[in-house]
Amino acid sequence: MKTISMRHITLLLLATAICTNAAETNLPLWPEGVPGKRVEPSKATLERIGPKGSTPGHETFISDPSITVYPAANPNGAAVIVCPGGGYWFLSTNNEGTGVCEWLNSIGVTAILLRYRTPTSDEAVPYQYPVQDLQRSLGIVRHRAKEWNIDPKRIGVIGFSAGGNLIGHASWDRTPRTYEQKPEVDDPRGPDFALFVYGGGFLEPEKKLTFREGFGIPADAPPCFFIVAHDDKSNPIEAAELYLSYKRQSLPAEIHIYSQGGHGFGTRKKNLPVDGWLKAAAEWMDASGFFKPRG
């Protein structure tokens, strides 16, 4: 039998320590109790989710929301909270979740995957509880920024489909928070930048060029990168209108409308020009100064 030398044991222990330090961290958002009380999912929602509920790549019935922190091997100080889509009735946690975190890590960004409450599609305001979860996430990340090698002034959000709607409300709404805040975990600021990927829900259903009543891009909106495919039903119009609102106010933004790609492409390769959005997004973050400290 082959013996293992003390040198091999030492190297193994060092490797284990390195892996442990680089491992992801999972944290509940509301250890003292989740605020609010959701309505029971409707029969239509349950039928749409299916009898299995969560399936590989899809997660739902999330009543205790959490974040998972994926540290970059070579961090540049930036962090992005990842909000998967799923119509507020499930989360696409692979294609629009862990796959996004892997990409962010590859460009030196610490990724934080948010598993927000679902389903909330039957609520009067479907995004209300998910927005609470994202706001609490931003506060936690800022309060633990030093511990996680993050610059608290370079914390962004990325959202896909319903996750895009979620980050939009967190970035652009200026309504008071509806839960009891705690100074040690909450922060009044929104995200420092946003990546809005085939999101929607801000236009009037019957008036595709008009924002919903009461909504508008505020003068202090964070820099935003908009990505959508031309063949994605109405969402290209939505992204264009949001971008134009930025442009009219001379707010920093960039938009990419790809000819083909449909809805829900996420990090999935489609052998279409839309595959280039990851590179374009990284270049925008870099050119905008989010990969290096800002004065």
Q: Which domains does the chain have, with CATH numbers?
A: 52-287 (3.40.50.1820)
Taking a C-beta distance cutoff of 8 angstroms, is the pair 235, 199 a contact? yes
Q: Which residues contact 235 (CB under 8 A, 6 or more apart)?
A: 198, 199, 200, 228, 263
| Angular region, 266: left φ>0, alpha ψ -120 to 50, beta rest | left
* Residue 199 pLDDT exceeds 50: yes
- Chain segment 14-64, per-residue pLDDT in tens: 333 333 345 679 999 999 999 999 999 999 999 988 877 778 889 999 999
The pLDDT of residue 12: 40
* Residue 114 pLDDT exceeds 90: yes
pLDDT band at 295 (very low <50, low <70, confident <90, very high): low
More confident of the two residues 53 and 219: 219
The pLDDT of residue 3: 45
By the 10 Å C-beta count (0-12 exposed, 13-18 middle, 19+ buried), 239 is classed as buried
This prediction has a pTM of: 0.91
Out of 22-26, 130-134, 205-209, 237-241, least confident range = 22-26
* Residue 275 pLDDT exceeds 90: yes
- Chain segment 130-175, per-residue pLDDT in tens: 999 999 999 999 999 999 999 999 999 999 999 999 999 999 999 9
- Report the mean per-residue pLDDT for the chain: 91
The residue-averaged pLDDT of 191-219 equals 94
Tokens of 270: 């489609």
